[in-house]
Structure formats: C-alpha cells, structure tokens
Structure 1
Amino acid sequence: MTAPVDESHNGFALRWARLAWILLAAALVVPIVVAGLRGAVLFTVTSIAAVVVAVVAVYGFLTWRGLLRLAALVSALCAPIVVLVVIVRERELWVIPLEAALVIAAFGSARAALRIRSSESTMPEYPAETVHRPFLVMNPHSGGGKVVRFDLRRRAEELGAEVVMLEGPEFVDVQALARRAVARGADLLGVAGGDGTQALVAGVAAEHGIPFLVISAGTRNHFALDLGLDREDPVAGLEALRDGVELHVDLGNIDGRPFVNNASFGVYAEIVESPQYRDDKAKTVLDLLPDLLDTSAHAGLRARIDGTVLDGPRALLVSNNPYTTDDLVGMGRRLRLDRGRLGVIALSMHGAGQIVGVLRRARTRGLVQRTAAEVVVFSDEHDIAVGVDGESVRMPSPVRCTVVPGALRVLVPRDRPGMRIPRPVLDWVQLSRLARATTRR
C-alpha cells in the first residue's frame, strides 16, 4: 500500500519525484533507441559491466584501506567513462548532450522533490523570563580551549552569572553541581562545553523547570547547531542573557540519563569509543566502516521499537528527534527538536550489494529508519556498550530509551543565525517513496 501525501503540503514533492524517475528512465532508454540494434547490444553490455565495476569499486572503497581503497575510488570514477567511449565509437555524439540534459533535469527534479521547506525546520519562540541568578558550568579543555580563548568566564560574570570551571583531572559530578546551584536560588543553568556535559545539566534544568543556556564551546556541538546557534562564536550564546527568547525542546532519556542528541549501540557505540572520534568524527566513521561491514561478526543486540521487534542489528542509533533521511550515522542535522518522537536508525546488512545499496541510499533492505515513542535494547551480554551524546558508557541490559516532549526550556539569543536549511541530498530511497505515494486533499 502506498502512503497518502497531503496535496497542499507535499503534493509538489510527489510530482517532482515522479518527473525525476521519468527523466531517468528516458536517459536509459534514449541511447538504446537511437543507436540501433548493434549499438544497443554493445551499449547494454558495456553499461552492465560498468555498473558491476562501479558497485564492486564502491564496496572496495568502503571496506578496504590504503592503496586498495585508492584503486577502488579510481575504478569507480572510470567506469562511467567507458560508457561514453562506446557512444563516441558509434559516432552518435549528439546523444551525449541529450543524455546530459536528461540527467541534469532528472537531478534538478529530484532536488526539488527533496527540498526542505522553511516551515519544516522552524520551531516556535516563546518570551523569555528575566533571569536574576544564572549559573554556568564551563569546561576549559573542551573544544580545544574555547572557554579561555574567547574569555567566556569574564564575559559571563560581567553579565551576573556564577561560573564554575571544570579544572583538574578528578571527576566532577556536574549534575550535583547544578542541583546545589538550584538549591541556592539559581534560576538558569548553562554549560560551555561538549554535548555530553550539556545533556547532564540540561536534565537538571528540566527537572526544576528553569531555562537552560547553551554556549557552543565544545568540539562539535551538534545540539547548538540544531538550535540555530553559531558554533564558531560561543560569545554570541551569552547574548541570550541580555536579549533572549525560549525554545521548548524535547529531551531524550536512556535509563534515567538525559541525552540531547543520540544514544548509539553496536558498531555505532564502537565508533564513539574510538580515541580518534572526538578529533575527526567523519574520518573515524570511514576508518571503522570495514568493521561495520564485517557481517561475520554478531552484535548480539535486539531492539523493540514501540511494538516491533528487530533482531540482530549491527548498529543502532536512537536520537532525540529524527535526523534527516540521508544521515545514517547521526552526524548531520535534525530539522526540529520539538516533535516529541525518537528517531531510530538500525543497520542489519548481509552481503556486499545490500551494504553498498544502503550506504548509497539506493535501497532499504537491511535498513530500518523510523520514529518511535520508545525503544528498548536487549543484549546477549549483561552490559551494553552505549555512546550517549559522544560519551562512552556501559549500561545493564535491557536499556530503555524514551523522549519527554517539550521538557527543556532553552534560552537562545534573539539574534542568531537560525536553522540553515541543508541543501537536498539525492536520497533515492526517499525519492522512490515519494513517487509511489498517493495524494489526499
């Protein structure tokens, strides 16, 4: 059964998606029709061979390392050139600009279908109450020393904030710090640091119903990004104390521990555990992809997503609101943080073709991507390794993930960059779903 689409909201996406597939089909058929029988056979054989080489090369790029990975990349880039050579040899040069026009039009239609409207990424703003006793936790080691580099402590204290620095090698219970501050009368809690620390203090702010301030002094600060803050200017976050508005966002919960971004299991958790993860997340994911694609290993996980049971996922990501459909590693964007739903991405892949198809977003077998109110994760072992907002922890099985809608009042500057709508990514799975959908009025 095809899913219905609201004509007034998504009907335009359906029409563009169907046009994209029609143009792509035309791009495949036209060379065969115009080249004649001899050309058709040659073109077909060459095209099939080129596709096989490209798929194997892409798989090799994802699974191999070193010179083999470089060779695979070169092969993947050269495969389509062979097809062009055949067209030139048959002296049907006029087919090339026609093909280019069809492909460009198809890609343009696909991007139009997948384009995100501003209304889909705009969270409502609420008037902010006057803050009298803000309390801020700052980590001077986070983000390569942004707290010191931007002189955040002095700037915050000039605005009337009490600041505690997380200095020294010993462990500091930031939640206990925040609760003591609230007991002394603090009417706002804030953090200049990474997302893991942000989440712990945010949980205390949500408990007491007071505003929470995000200062983007961490390495990545994905939470700040999805709030529309400028991650390169942590000083701008302090401006919320002068002239701010509130966003009421959801807060994830994993067995009593709050999270603002995501909780990861299986290979995802192994990626978070990597020492290189904090310095270069994208490179770490690429380096560990061969382990993800090693289907001989078994993660020993099971997940109950609302009422549906999923057996044996190699990797599982549960997020506070869903990531965009093309983001399979939770390093991209969430359009909104106030939908009251968990995002779920699970990978259970078997075979090279299936793996490459999922990672290229050309197929869905082995991929579960949905929203849920509750996710319960079971393990064959007593404990489960979990990456919670980039922090590696172990929790007893089973682990229960939920989301609390509108639990967190986040104070943000009135004047801020806002959510930058990402350019549409050619997600062929999503495009196929759109094209098969029906409309309703």
Structure 2
Amino acid sequence: MLARLAVLGLVGDVLVLAFAVGEGSLVVLGGGLLGLVLCVVGLWWFVAHRGFVRFLGALLAVAAPAAVLVLLTFEGLWLLALLLAVCWAATLACARAALRRSRPERPMRAVAAVRPERPLLIMNPVSGSGKVERFHLVGRAEELGARVILLDPAAPADVAALARRGVDEGADLLGVAGGDGTQALVAAVAAEHGVPFLVIPAGTRNHFAMDLGLDRADPSRALEALADGEELRVDLGDVAGRAFVNTVSFGVYADVVQHPEYRDNKTGTALNLLPELLAGDEGRRLDARVDGDALDGPQALLVSNNPYASPDVLSGAGRRPRLDGGALGVLAVKVEGAAHAADVAVWGTQSQGLSALTGRRVEVTADADEIPVAVDGEALRMATPVVCALRPGALRVLVPRDRPGTVAPAPPMDWRRLLRLAFGRPARTEGVPRPPGPDTPSA
C-alpha cells in the first residue's frame, strides 16, 4: 500500500507540474533546478578557489536560491512551489517507509552476557569537552565494580599498552570513554585477547557508538551493561595492521587533517588548503582496487567497517545498518570542476563522480612511497600500497539491553524496486518464514 501511495504521489506531482498552471509549472521546475545547479557551482568555486573567485562563489551560493524565491513570488507561484515541496516530502516519506518495510534490516544478533568480575575502563577526561566529569562516569563505573584508569592530558599515554597490562593483571573486560580513535586502539587489544569490549560514547561524534545503538546524549547509560548487558559480535577493520572501528580516509580529507593547525581551526584550515588539494597541485594521485574493481584517481576515498546505508556519510550524517555484515564499504569521490560538482549534487550515486562499492579487500596505491591516511579521524602516514581488510566477528561488544539508538537508517531511494513493490508480486519479507503450502517444503 505504501509503495502505491508513493507512486501515486509521484504521478500527482508530475500532473500538477504539467497541467495546474500551464507554463508556470516550467518556471517552478526550471527555476528550482537552475537554482540548485548554480548554488552547487557557487559552493565549488568557494572551496576550490581563493580571492575574488571565492567571493563570487559565496555570492552565487547565496544569491541563486534567493533569486528562485523572488522569481516564484513575482510570478505568484510561491504557494504552488510550497505545495509541491510538501507533496514531494510526503511522497519520499511513503517511498522510504515502503522500502524499509519490504526489506527490514534484521538486528545484529545479541546473546546474554556474563557479568564481568574485573572490568577495566580507560577514560579520557578531555574527550567530548569534558563528558567524563560532566556525567560523573568515574564514580558511576566504580560503583559498578570497575577499575578506572583516568588519563592525564598533560602526559600522553599508550592506551593499547595500558589495556594489555590490564588483561595481564586479570581484567575480563576492557572499555573506553573517549573518541573513536582511542576506542579502536583498545578494541584491537580486546579482540586479540578475546575479552568483551565496552563502548562509552564520551567523544565528540561517537559514530561507532551510534551504529551500536547507544545513547550518545547520556554516555553514563552505556555503563548499565556492566550490571545487565548483552553481547554483540561485530567486525573489526584492519588497515596496514592497525585496527579501525569506523572509517579510513585517503585523499583530500587525509591531507587536511595532517596539518597541526587543523585541530584548533578545522574550517579555516580546510578552506586554506582545499584549492591546492582539489586542483592536484599539493595532493597525490590515488588509485584503488576493490576486490576486482578499479577506481582511478579519486580525490577522496573512504573505506568503512561495513557499508553505510547511503552516501550521507560524506556529510557526517550516514549510518551503518549493521556492523557484522563481513564486508567493507567504499565511497570514492572524483570531482574535476564546477559542472562535475553540479552533476554529483543532482544525480547523487548515479553520477560518475561518486562511486559506492562493497568488498572484502581494498588496496590503495599512489605516486608516492608514503601517503597521509586518516584512521577513525586520527592523522597517520602509511607506506604504499595500503591494504584495508576486515576481521569478521573479531570483536565482542558488551552493550546495555536498552539501546535507544537502535533504529534502522533510511534506505537509499530505489524507484525501480519501488515500482516492483507497487505493481509486481508482493515480496516476501526477509527473515519471516512463509506458511507451509503446496510449493513450500515442510520443516
């Protein structure tokens, strides 16, 4: 039903554009599309150039959508545009609900966990602007029987060595309250020794915690797993022998994070460096092979521990439906000018500038012996070729039973599949067995 409503909504939008106001519909459609393209072109000029061209790009990025609004108001079509926007939003909502319902993502399998007797937690007091102190994580953890190592910001410590020493002294669980980079280092030790790992989302973004369904707004809730938790078996990424829980980035982003001023001024540093990096004057040519598929010369390459549901990961909004799928996700971006940037913005994954793949092995080569690499946001340098792989089910993660963030992400739009759902044979829901019938062998 939802699929048919989505298709009817799409047809209704088209009919309104075609017949409601005659030539005015072309103004709405053409003006909106032109405004989008000009806005993207302006943003490209802004990030890829300096001086007057950058100023012109900023002006165009702001003026283009404003001009579209003025045009619609002058032509008396603003109400029509608003109505179409609302209808289109409803159409997309029905379409995504139908796609999600037709192929529901099965949750990661959780099993009952044995309560740890000697848990060891490593906490970074400066992560996430002081979340450890703000949420009283040390006291709460100690109340639950955990031993806490509080890092000293003035004396950087080897957290992997601290974790190994803890296991040697009898720790039967390792946990981290900190960012994803620190999480990955201790997770590797936990996987190596076969002990459970506890994620406490006390960092800034906490992507790993988000995809585990943990409450990032209140990291203290993760500690509930110490008293009554369950265990997930998830995959662990590997890049040149180093573990990662989220992503490995090559190209433009990896080049930017290498600069020491990036930590204190992310936006300013990126705007200062991007013109040379995007033009190839300072960056290095990258090539990659994902199993048998070749990616030639991407400016940015992101390899993830399990694929993201959509390319929204490039804006930081993406989510991974599961972390135990046994495959790497790969997103490659290649934009060579303003027209190419507009093509990516309009067509998304259908554009030649954006490639989304999955694979079990990714090999990255370059025209240099060593390249910058960002591993879970940490700036590193690695010798080429750099190989990314996956260790399926290597990590035992202890999580609380109540995980408010366990929500299936919106699936990418697939209109052909939606049409099959609307007018073809009803698809059997995955994971739900059919009742026995004449064509179904009995158990």
The two structures have a TM-score, normalised by structure 2, of: 0.81
1:226 aligns with 2:186: no
1:419 aligns with 2:401: no
Q: What corresponds to 1:4 in structure 2?
A: none
1:315 aligns with 2:297: no
CA 1:280–1:419: 2 relative to 1, 3 Å: farther
Q: What corresponds to 1:112 in structure 2?
A: 94
Alpha-carbon distance between aligned partners in 1 of 2:7 and 2:278, rounded to the nearest angstrom: 33
Q: What corresponds to 2:178 in structure 1?
A: 193
Q: What corresponds to 1:80 in structure 2?
A: 68
Post-superposition shift, 1:102? 4.9
Post-superposition shift, 1:343? 1.0
What's the secondary structure of 1:123's corresponding residue?
A: coil
Match of 1:270 among 255, 260, 268: 255
How many percent of aligned residue pairs carry the same amino acid?
49
CA 1:182–1:47: 2 relative to 1, 3 Å: closer
CA 1:280–1:373: 2 relative to 1, 3 Å: farther
Quick check: 379-388 or 326-335, which moved more? 326-335
Post-superposition shift, 1:175? 1.6
1:64 aligns with 2:46: yes
Q: What corresponds to 2:433 in structure 1?
A: none
Post-superposition shift, 1:258? 0.7
CA 1:123–1:366: 2 relative to 1, 3 Å: same
Q: What corresponds to 1:22 in structure 2?
A: 11
CA 1:194–1:45: 2 relative to 1, 3 Å: closer
Q: Which runs of 5+ in 1 are unaligned?
A: 1-10
State the Cα deviation string for residues 305-348 of structure 1 (Å, max 9, x = none): 11111110000000111123141416222222121111110001
Q: What corresponds to 1:335 in structure 2?
A: 321
What's the secondary structure of 2:202's corresponding residue?
A: coil
Quick check: 126-135 or 413-422, which moved more? 413-422
Q: What corresponds to 1:240 in structure 2?
A: 225
Contact 1:63/1:290 (CA < 8 Å) preserved in 2? no
Q: What corresponds to 2:119 in structure 1?
A: 134
1:304 aligns with 2:289: yes
Alpha-carbon distance between aligned partners in 2 of 1:136 and 1:232, rounded to the nearest angstrom: 20
Q: Which runs of 5+ in 2 are unaligned?
A: 48-53, 428-443
State the Cα deviation string for residues 131-187 of structure 1 (Å, max 9, x = none): 111111111222222223333223322322222222154442222221222122211
Match of 1:376 among 334, 342, 363: 363
Alpha-carbon distance between aligned partners in 1 of 2:84 and 2:18, rounded to the nearest angstrom: 11
Alpha-carbon distance between aligned partners in 2 of 1:182 and 1:80, rounded to the nearest angstrom: 62
Alpha-carbon distance between aligned partners in 1 of 2:315 and 2:235, rounded to the nearest angstrom: 17
Alpha-carbon distance between aligned partners in 1 of 2:2 and 2:273, rounded to the nearest angstrom: 39
Contact 1:146/1:217 (CA < 8 Å) preserved in 2? yes
Contact 1:322/1:342 (CA < 8 Å) preserved in 2? yes
Trace 1:284-299 onto structure 2 (pairs within 5 A).
294=279, 299=284
Post-superposition shift, 1:434? 4.0
Q: What corresponds to 2:134 in structure 1?
A: 149
Q: What corresponds to 2:376 in structure 1?
A: 389
Alpha-carbon distance between aligned partners in 2 of 1:184 and 1:110, rounded to the nearest angstrom: 55
Letter in 2 for 1:81: L
Aligned length: 413
Post-superposition shift, 1:190? 0.6
What's the secondary structure of 2:93's corresponding residue?
A: helix
Alpha-carbon distance between aligned partners in 1 of 2:380 and 2:43, rounded to the nearest angstrom: 31
Alpha-carbon distance between aligned partners in 2 of 1:249 and 1:297, rounded to the nearest angstrom: 38
